[in-house]
Amino acid sequence: MEATAIAKDIGYPPRKVRQVADLIRGHNVEEALEILKLTRRVAATPMSKTIRSAMHNMVNKKGGTADAEDMIVKAVQVDEGRILYRIRPRAQGRAFRIRKRSCHIKVVVTMATDDE
């Protein structure tokens, strides 16, 4: 049994969020949350919120009988979101573009021992 959670339009570039996603992929949920708590990356906060959401989705699916120790982070997918374009004034009336990137995070959590 699997449960997913999706966080959209996170205000961090996907490249930086993927570095955090690589740390937790394949761990159980409890270990993943501990790793994210000790990670000094700013993208660890939305990643942990998404993992908690997927964990609670699993609990609701199972009927309130699932523990965090029994769940594994099966997949973490970080996709590009929309890009906000801003303008930076430069010399002689020119303007340079600033691209503020965002991303979408998708976390899939599964049970460690699937009895079904």
Please report which confidence band the pLDDT of residue 114 belongs to, taking 50, 70 and 90 as the band edges: low
pLDDT tens, position by position, 29-86: 999 999 999 999 999 999 999 999 999 999 998 777 778 788 999 999 999 999 999 9
Q: Which domain holds residue 91?
A: 2-111
pLDDT tens, position by position, 88-107: 999 999 999 999 999 999 99
The count of domains in the chain is 1
CATH number, domain of 34, equals: 3.90.470.10
Does residue 59 lie within any of the structural domains?
A: yes
pLDDT tens, position by position, 80-93: 999 999 999 999 99
Does residue 116 lie within any of the structural domains?
A: no
Does residue 57 lie within any of the structural domains?
A: yes
Q: Tell me, yes or no, if the pTM score tops 0.85.
A: yes
CB 30 within 8 A of CB 68: yes
Does residue 41 lie within any of the structural domains?
A: yes
To 10 degrees, what angle do helices 14-24 and 44-62 make? 50
CB 6 within 8 A of CB 77: no
pLDDT at 5: 96
pLDDT at 16: 95
Does residue 11 lie within any of the structural domains?
A: yes
